[in-house]
Amino acid sequence: MPENQESVYARVREEVAARADRLWEVGLALHRDPETAYEEHRAAALLSGELEREGFRVEHGAAGLPTAFVARTGPAAASGGGPRVALLMEYDALPLLGHACGHNLIAAAGLGAALAARAALGDTGGTLLAVGTPAEERGGGKVAEVEAGLFEGVDAALMFHPGVHDWRWAPLTASAQIRVGFHGRAAHPTGSPTEGIDALGALIQLFNALGVLHRRLPSGSHVQGIVTEGGRATNIVPEYAEGMFGLRGGTTKALEELVGEVRTCARGVALATRTTVEVTDVGGRYEHFRDNDVLSGLFAGHLERAGIRLTEPAAGVYLGSSDIGNVSTRVPAIHPFVAVMGAEGSDHTPEFAGATAGPRARRVVTAAAEALACTAVDVLLGADVRERAWARFHEKAAAGE
């Protein structure tokens, strides 16, 4: 490692340490005031304000999303040339559970990494982006940001996620939501039973068909549905019934195949029950996450300085889906997990929400901010790092991973 780069690492550590109390205050402020998807106005203002005060140029309402933002620094910010690193911040909360997924910590660590990396590098080393990404839990702010071209020219997209494991990368599936609506014909079930076409009966048959389908799905694929409309009265044959289905696939290709199978099942049920059916997408699809092990290896090495050792995920385990997947299939990206409670716990629970405001979480925020900032330094100052990261990205893309 060049001596000057080691001195930059030392400066990063100093800058994170100097800001540690403020970063924790930001994390607690978000925790106390949870805002759900696309409603994160106060969170976005808090984070972008911190960045503006330290010299970042902030674009509010990025990608047409009122609670998204992009903060830029560096001489290449205007010209578009030179290396670019994006540090990602999530800050939406879960309904009723608050920050039970730890997005308050993602935001605080991303903020700390951006501020420390800028202070350590000054106006050298390319462009640093601090990207506010709303609505990860529902809606997918990163999906809109990818489609708006926000990550074009970016060499690395960096973030971490709190969890119950210390893992180098996140085994995240592709996911989609679809709405299936059956149209039948209303009738009195006793007075004119032969005139009715039971839309609810058709929806129930679809659930039965998907139960059979589910038994032969490959690892990582999954279908879960709920009834969102099933009729209004027991003495009327339901003329309309609707279900919402969440679909997951181990890869984006597997998800596309699963969506096709569900559509085929719905059409088959409609034919058998003399109903008509509509199948529509709900929101944007999340692609599977593609880890860039060149970058995640660097992050893991930096995190070890804080005494946290990351390992590979357990084989065959999947931990849900995230819109970081859509970013990772466009540019080299990382999404490691760092534990803030024991492996006996689980996120999306009240206990995890409490842990994201606890003493272990405070230590993790500081360590993650430092490791993210040092990884950003690696990318911005090391042409060989960028070349290796992009080469690995293209290898995985060609292999369909």
Class of domain 3-172+289-399: alpha beta
The answer to whether the Cα torsion of 347, 69, 174, 281 is positive or negative is positive
Residue 164 is which amino acid?
V
The model's pLDDT over 354-397, given as tens digits with 9 standing for 90+, comes to: 999 999 999 999 999 999 999 999 999 999 999 999 999 999 99
335 touches 160 (CB < 8 A): yes
- Half-sphere CA count of 88, side-chain side, radius 13 A: 31
Q: Which helix (H) or strand (E) element contains residue 189?
A: none
3-state secondary structure of 137: coil
Residue 203 is which amino acid?
L
User: For the chain, which residues score pLDDT lower than 70?
Assistant: 1-3, 75-81, 125
Tokens matching residue 320: 């849900």
pLDDT number for residue 311: 96
Considering only CA atoms, which of 366, 398, 394, 395 is closest in space to residue 23?
A: 366
For domain 174-286, which CATH number applies: 1.10.260.40, 1.20.1540.10, 3.30.70.360, 3.30.70.240?
Answer: 3.30.70.360
Residue-by-residue DSSP string for 49-74: HHHHHTT-EEEESGGG-TT-EEEEES
Please state the pTM of the whole predicted model: 0.91
How many C-beta atoms surround the C-beta of residue 95 within 10 A?
10
Domain boundaries defined on the chain: 3-172+289-399, 174-286
pLDDT number for residue 78: 46
pLDDT number for residue 80: 54
pLDDT number for residue 2: 53
Considering only CA atoms, which of 253, 273, 151, 149 is closest in space to residue 209?
A: 273
pLDDT number for residue 219: 85
Strand residues in 116-195 grouped as ranges (E): 127-132, 156-158, 161-163, 174-183
Strand residues in 236-393 grouped as ranges (E): 240-249, 276-286, 337-339
